[in-house]
Structure formats: structure tokens, C-alpha cells
Amino acid sequence: MSGDMLFRGPSDLHTHSRVSDGTESPSRLVREAAAAGLGAVALTDHDSTAGWHEASGEAQKQNITFIPGMEFSTRYGYKSVHLLAYLFDPLSADLVAETARIRESRLKRAESIVRRIGVDYDLDWDDVLAQTTPGATVGRPHIADALVARGHVPTRSEAFTGILHPRNGYYLPHYAPDPLLAVTLVRRAGGVPVIAHPATRGRDAMIDEQHLSQLVDAGLFGLEIDHRENTDDGKVRLRELAKKFGLVLTGSSDYHGAGKPNRLGENTTADEVLQAIINEGTGSSPVYPGAR
């Protein structure tokens, strides 16, 4: 191993704060990351960079490395594809416009879902607002939390398998760009795109090889392999695809605070892989321990 890495691991490259659908503030999340023994953490809120400033300030206090990131919502046909993006320029105009469009559509969609649920259950928009911090990227998890607060379901997870599941008729999609556009925008902003949890069970299962090859041509850099929702068979396939297309493989928790059972550091990314991501990213910089 070369001696010139500016960070130390272990590294968790996929986490969510209250800026999207996590339950902790960015600074609390970073404190918890340090307490969990992590040496580096990326904040990857859905479609937003609004937590970067707070998280990077706390990382300096905690003496751990902060990697700026985001989980970009995209859609391929009926399939939702999540694209992790690291070290991009948060002021890149095209990227900012696209994520603003997604967040606005998410807001309208959530209001519509709540109106539909409100026909059958005691629930209104104020219940959801009470679960959301101002400016946050709104998603079904906030509706789930409102359903829990109203006593309609016991947990966020049970809201997802029940009332919020598409089969139950309240679900609506939101606008999301094609993955190819998202990869292109991230690269143009100097960022490093990695597909999140690409091998989950069911509806959003495994990306096909021909499509993957297009994304690689557009600049895709990696695949998130070590994630609790990837299946064992899927991980075998991801390893083959990474080798074939020259992609890096990452691992992470997808921590959402109390919103999901995922714990910080339950999966981590190899130091040399994070170094490769850092070498590739030019739109923003990691914040290293001891930096001023």
C-alpha cells in the first residue's frame, strides 16, 4: 500500500441525514460515524447537497475525513435506479437544475400520495410536514413516519410493506431522469458516479449488461456491491461485471438513522477504492482531518 493516502479508513460511503430521509442531523451523523470507528464518511442525501457544509465542519471537529456525495434519483423504464455521486461541483448549473426538478416533483408527488391516503385514513399534509425539516428532499419515508405518528402503522418499514406499497393503490411515481443523463451530468460536474445497490431483489433487480455498457461509456466508475439489500447471487454477478467493465466495487451501510435497521460501518469500502474515487473526482474536495 502506498504511504501517501491523506485519509484513514474504514470508510462508509453511503449515508442519509434529515436533509433527505435519514433521521439525524448531518453533524450528529458525523459524530456517530466517528463513534462507530469510521475514519471516513460520505453524506449521500437523496437529490441534495444541502448537508455538506454542516457535515464537513463536524468531520473536522471529529478528526475524520468527509467525502461530499449525493444519491441521485433516476429511472430506467419502470425501474428506479439510484446513482451515488461523489466529489462533484455542487454549483454545476445543469446538475443543480436537475436535482431541483426532482425535489419539486417529489414534493408534489408526496402531496398527491397523502391526498389519496387521506381518503381512507386520518392523515393530512401537516402530519408529513411535522416529520420533515425545512428544505429536505421529501420522500415516502416522511409519509411513513407520519403514518406511524398517527398510529396507522407501527414502524416506517411496515408502512412500506403496507399502505405505501405500490400494490395498495396510493403510490405515485415522481419525475426522475434517465440514468444515462444522470451519469453524464455528474461527470460534467467533475464527479464520480457509482450505481447504488444494483442487485436487490424484486422489481428493481439487476441492471442488464447492455445498459450497463452504455453507462460505462458515459463515465460510470463503480458499483456498490457490499450493501445489505444486494442478493448473494447478485454480488457474484456484480463482481463479474466490474471485472469486465473495469469498474470499482464499493461497500456501505446506507444508514438512515432510526429510519432503517442499517448501522454505520456495517459495510465499508476498501482504502484503495476510496483513493481511486478521490483521484477521479475534480468537482469538489474531500475534507481531511486537520484541514482548516
Write out the E strands in 27-112: 40-43, 65-76, 79-86
Q: How far is CA 243 from CA 84, 134, 209, 211, 249, in A?
A: 20, 43, 13, 16, 10
Please report, as residue ranges, which positions from 170 to 199 form the binding site for ligand AMP (by CB under 6 A). none
> Binding segment for ligand AMP among 116-124, 137-145, 179-187, 232-240 (CB under 6 A)?
137-145
Here the cell at position 280 is 477521479
Shortest Cβ 235–ligand AMP spacing (Å): 20
Q: Which of 14, 18, 103, 156 binds ligand AMP (CB under 6 A)?
A: 156
Please, which residue, 159 or 287, has the CB nearer to ligand AMP?
Answer: 159
What is the rounded CA–CA span in Å between residue 224 and residue 85? Answer: 12
In the set 17, 256, 269, 286, which binds ligand AMP (CB under 6 A)? Answer: 256
Which x/- pattern over 196-235 shows residues binding Fe ion (rule: CB under 5 A)?
x---------------------------------------
* Shorter beta-carbon distance to Zn ion: residue 127 or 177: 177
Does position 249 bind Fe ion by CB under 5 A? Answer: no
Regarding 286 and contact with ligand AMP (CB under 6 A), the answer is no
Contact of residue 191 among Fe ion, Zn ion, ligand AMP, none (CB under 5-8 Å per partner type): none
Shortest reach from residue 237's CB to ligand AMP, in Å: 22
Three-class HEC string of 225-272: EECCCECHHHHHHHHHHHHHHCCEEEECCCECHHHCCCCCCCCCECHH
Q: What is the DSSP string of 12-40?
A: E--B--TTTT-SS-HHHHHHHHHHTT-SE
Q: Any contact of residue 160 with ligand AMP (CB under 6 A)?
A: yes
The minimum distance between CB 256 and Fe ion, in angstroms, equals: 6
Q: Find, among 113, 239, 96, 248, the residue nearest to 170 by Cα.
A: 113
Q: Minimum distance between the CB of residue 275 and ligand AMP, rounded to whole angstroms?
A: 28
Residue nearest to Zn ion (CB): 254
Interface of this chain with Fe ion, residues 19 to 78, rule: CB under 5 A? 21
Least distance between ligand AMP and beta carbon 16 (Å): 7
Residue 156 interface partner, choices Zn ion, Fe ion, ligand AMP, none, CB cut-off 5-8 Å depending on type = ligand AMP
Question: In the complex, which residue's CB is closest to ligand AMP?
Answer: 139
Cβ neighbours for 103, distance < 8 A, ≥ 6 positions apart: 47, 48, 137, 138
Query: Which long-range contacts (C-beta less than 8 Å, at least 24 apart) are formed by 138-141?
Result: 138/103, 138/106, 138/107, 138/110, 139/20, 139/21, 139/46, 139/106, 139/110, 140/110, 140/113, 140/164, 141/21, 141/256, 141/259
State the nearest-atom distance from the C-beta of 196 to Fe ion, in Å. 5
Cα–Cα dist 229/41, whole Å? 20
* Through-space distance between the first and last CA atoms of the chain, rounded to whole angstroms: 27
182's contact among ligand AMP, Fe ion, Zn ion, none, with CB below 5 to 8 A by partner kind, is none
Q: How many Å apart are CA 192 and CA 188, to the nearest integer? A: 10
Q: Which does 10 bind (CB under 5 to 8 A by kind): Zn ion, Fe ion, ligand AMP, none?
A: none
User: Where does this chain bind ligand AMP (CB under 6 A)?
Assistant: 21, 139-141, 156-157, 160, 256, 259-260
Name the site residues for Fe ion (rule: CB under 5 A).
Answer: 21, 82, 196
